[in-house]
Structure 1
Amino acid sequence: MILLNSIDLLAFTDIFQLSNSHLLLTTEIAQADPSIVLAGVLLSAVTIYFAAKLGGEICAAFDFPSVLGELIAGVIVGVSVLHFLVFPEGGIEAGDSLIMQFLQMTTDLSPENVAVTFHLQSEVISLLAEIGVIVLLFEIGLESNLKELMEVGTQALTVAIIGVIAPFAAGTAGLMIIFNIPAIPAIFAGAALTATSIGITSRVLSEMGQLTSKEGQIILGAAVIDDVLGVIVLAVAASLAKTGEVDVGNVIYLIISATGFLVGAILLGNVFNRSFVKIVELLKTRGGLIVPAITFAFVMAYLATAIHLEAILGAFAAGLVLDETDRRKELQRLVEPVSDMLVPIFFIAVGAKTNLGVLNPINPENREGLIIAAFLITVAIIGKVLAGFTVFGQPDLDKLAIGVGMIPRGEVGLVFVAVGASSGVLSPALEAGIVVMVIATTFIAPALLRVVFKSNEETVEASSEIPSVAETTS
């Protein structure tokens, strides 16, 4: 998935895990016609935006999050179905791309230059997707209100911690013991089980009028903490994938550095905010707020990569810092169109690279992948539901509703898939299994939330209708 060190152009070929036969030599690059490469990028962009809007609108019509529609649309236009948008990974050749075939029919693209054009076009789209995920994490950071996070109390913190530890431990151990999957891929898949989608859960709770309920507040608080913990887990898992081995010292360093990076950014937030506001007030031309904000996000992303963390961690920290500014709401509004243009590239690319054909039950070799997907879905659901039952001190709370509200992985889970795929640590079956888990939990959670809260309301109404002893004796 494209995403790790978007700014580290020197590691460009490492990001895409290209084999020696796929490396682009300077002479080959010189043979590619820039105008045809641009045409390929433009056709890819048309495919991405058309698929993203169509998929998003269809899902929104059925009351599901649009991001899920983008993911499914990516699967359809990608290697699994239509082959419009494919990437030179996993043995995919230029001839498998319908966009390349169309370019050959409509331009003077020669057969000997098809491969190099295909690689360059794919790499441009992949880099745009990487920038898209940086913007996505920046936007998530902006939406994560630190003050509200501090006010949710120990209950949300408990739910979040258990909701991270339980699925991560069960998923990692199960994959290693039951399926004999090596430690690094198992850790990565376990890490993908930790996150909770704030956007999906908050939307459903808002529609049900439960956003300000005690359960709703704990769910949202725990989801925010989950995101912080999840980004740290992701940074650790991605770095482990790079080294290819579990080094306890390295793991400790990554946890400390990632935590220290976030805490340091937050503690220095007031200094950053004052400087940011002063700079913005001096600027009089267009983009006076959004350009410095995006620049700051990119600087933080660079600093994260400079200390061997992930760019997305820096972008997330930048969002958390700027969330405290007086112009946060205006900034969120201005970031939205930037996000609308770049983030769909990320989600469509994730879906396009996911080969769900490895889960075809007709092929006996694929059955293990299906079992892995079922296992991950089970752990993903049970782990979060159990976390809901760890709430203490308030017996009147609907603990099942809290657990169910933590189930959807949504866009956050896709970030894990993307990082794992780009690092080459995930097998096709394991990658597809994680994607299926993300899709399943995202579909299941909204429906279950409605059922649980409706059942809770009916119970309250029924109990209120039962006359008290005093009423019956009077």
Structure 2
Amino acid sequence: MFFISAIAPLFPPLLATAEAENAPIVSSGVLLSLVAIYFASKLGAEVSKRLDFPPVLGELVAGVVIGVSALHLVIFPEGGLQATDSAVMSVLQWINGLTPEALNSVFQSQSEVISVLAELGAIVLLFEIGLESDLRQLQAVGTQATIVAFVGVAVPFAVGTVGLMMLFNVAAIPAIFAGAALTATSIGITSKVLSELGRLKSKEGQIIVGAAVIDDVLGIIVLAVVASLAKTGEVDVMNVIYLIVSATAFLLGSILLGSIFNKTFVALVNKLETRGNIIIPAFIFAFFMAFLGNAIHLEAILGAFAAGLVLDETDARNELDELVKPIADLLVPIFFVTVGARADLSVLNPLIPENRAGLAIAVFLIVVAIVGKVATGWAVFGQPGINRLAIGVGMIPRGEVGLVFAGIGSASGVLDKPLEAAIIIMVILTTFLAPPFLRVAFGQSEEPPTGGEPSMEATAVSKT
């Protein structure tokens, strides 16, 4: 295998043949990983439901159990993990007698496939959330959502950065990077919990979702600023301006596109006579919008969410809602389980010396992360009877977005081990605390849910 790798540049067809021989084994690894993911997600969701918690919390916990923190059934190369650390790879090696080099190649390929499926799950989830959201309601709370988003970015960033520098003597650039990680909000996790609680279409739910979308855009801009600062010590002003303009144009353009595209979509659907006449054109549009989001250096999930908002205004939305659900049931659990699987809880172990400094910083970051986002609920004005606590709690989870910040900071060499561990701990705890906290926050509301919001299923029925 070493010889083949050495002469690969001279004989690329030979290398392709060698890699092609492993393709069936990669498929076996993917299939075995999916068995573990689906079994864990369903078991976790059912247990969580019976304990009266949101099912998504069970999926996250299930991911932790089968991930790097426990069983090692679903792990990824990030963080220095090897193929020999994977239980799935051990099974494949036992069955196929793979060499260490071949095993590592299979592990890399299998991990990439699972990561892509998880990304597709996130895209489908945000497309579904866009379909379930009401564009008119989102526009009605647009000002409130924008204020909530800006407060949710500014307060944690400022307090976190200054606090790290003053209390822990962290250097300016690492402190800024950690402060930036505090700005993130996982729209996928929050929106899924809101759907499960039947609160997605409530005024609080629409403010949270709108603010999370804007927060995602702001987070990308902040990340671009701190990443350029980490690389060169200077901020690329032109890149920041480009991101601001492209993000604004993309979101506003998507909304304006709705009135034009809706008629075209319905006319196309009416002319198609084969199976998939609604769902296939819908996903073509969703994936294209997700591609555009990536192409202009935003997030694919923002494009998918915008596509869902646009198609929610069409006459075919009722049938489309029902057609998307089985696809979401198949792909979305992969996303949530892999989020949990990537969470390495070993950073919480105080017996490891390098974790102790990180734990002290983590306590500070967790307090700032929670208080900084909860404070956003009190930025809402002119809304009597609004559940401000629920809005603030809905902005807490950092999820995969926060892990992206930590990963980029680690790769750039800006973050030392204690600070990196502290950020990861903050991301893990805010992700897992938000679902039960959100349920409690809504339980404290004196206003019952308005008609038509009791559940996702009821929402779909109410549209018919």
- 1:442 equivalent in structure 2: 435
Distance 1:265 1:177, change over 3 A: farther
Could you tell me which of 31, 50, 56 is aligned with 2:18?
31
> Given residue 278 of structure 2, which amino acid in structure 1 is its aligned partner?
L
Query: 1: distance between equivalents of 2:302 and 2:130?
Result: 10
Residue 408 of structure 1 corresponds to: 394
CA distance in 2, matches of 1:255, 1:282: 39
Q: How far 1:203 moved relative to its partner?
A: 4.4
3-state SS of 1:80 partner: coil
Q: How does 1:180-329 map to 2 (within 5 A)?
A: 180=170, 182=174, 185-193=177-185, 197-201=190-194, 203-204=196-197, 217=203, 219-240=204-225, 243=228, 244-245=230-231, 246-329=235-318
Any conservation in 1 of the 2:208–2:394 contact (CA below 8 Å)? no
Using a 3 Å threshold, how does the CA distance of structure 1 residues 355 and 324 change in structure 2: closer, same or farther?
Answer: same
CA positional deviation for 1:299: 1.0
Equivalent residue for 2:377, pick from 355, 364, 388: 388
SS at match of 2:88: helix
Residue 420 (str. 1) matches residue 412 (str. 2): no
**Counterpart residue type for residue 166 of structure 1:** V
Instruction: Report the RMSD for the aligned CA atoms in angstroms.
Output: 3.1
* Candidates 55, 68, 84, aligned match of 1:95: 84
Separation of aligned partners in 2, 1:294 and 1:242: 33
Task: Note the residue ranges of structure 2 that are not aligned, 5 or more in a row.
Answer: 449-464
SS at the partner of 2:266?
A: helix
| Partner residue in 1 for 2:98 | 109
Q: For residue 397 of structure 1, what is the aligned residue in structure 2?
A: 385
Moved more, 120-129 or 145-154: 145-154
Following the alignment from structure 2 to structure 1, what is the Cα–Cα distance between the partners of residues 301 and 195? Answer: 22
Amino acid at match of 2:428: V
CA contact (8 A) 2:389 2:441 kept: no
1:369-411 superposed Cα distances (whole Å, 9 cap, x missing partner): 33344333322332343333344456x636xx4224430358x
Which shifted more, 58-67 or 238-247?
238-247
Match of 1:167 among 144, 156, 161: 156
Question: What is the Cα deviation at residue 321 of structure 1?
Answer: 1.5
* Distance in 2 separating the partners of 1:392 and 1:261: 27
Say if 1:168 and 1:193, in contact at 8 Å, map to a contact too. no
Residue 40 of structure 2 is matched in structure 1 by: 51
Which consecutive unaligned segments of at least 5 residues does structure 1 have?
1-20, 458-474
**Range moving further from structure 2, 248-257 or 26-35:** 26-35
Residue 17 of structure 1 aligns with which residue?
A: none
Q: Which moved more, 1:184-193 or 1:308-317?
A: 184-193
Contact kept, 8 Å, 1:405 with 1:449, in 2: the verdict is no
Alignment equivalent of 2:337, drawn from 343, 348, 352:
348
1:150 maps onto 2:135 in alignment: no
Count of residues in Structure 1 that have an aligned counterpart in Structure 2: 421
Counterpart residue identity of residue 354, structure 1: A
Moved more, 165-174 or 348-357: 165-174
**Offset of residue 185 of structure 1:** 3.1
TM-score (norm 2): 0.80
369 and 326 in structure 1: CA distance in 2 versus 1, 3 angstrom threshold: farther
- Higher alpha-carbon deviation: 227-236 or 178-187: 178-187
Contact 1:48 1:348 in 2 (8 A): yes
Judge conservation of contact 2:127–2:306 (CA < 8 Å) in 1: yes
Distance in 1 of aligned mates of 2:179 and 2:399: 16
Instruction: Supply the AA of the counterpart residue of 1:273.
Output: N
Amino acid at match of 2:65: I
Amino acid at match of 1:222: I
Identical amino acids, percent of aligned pairs: 49
Structure 2 CA distance for aligned equivalents of residues 375 and 221 of structure 1: 30
How does the TM-score come out when normalised to structure 1?
0.79
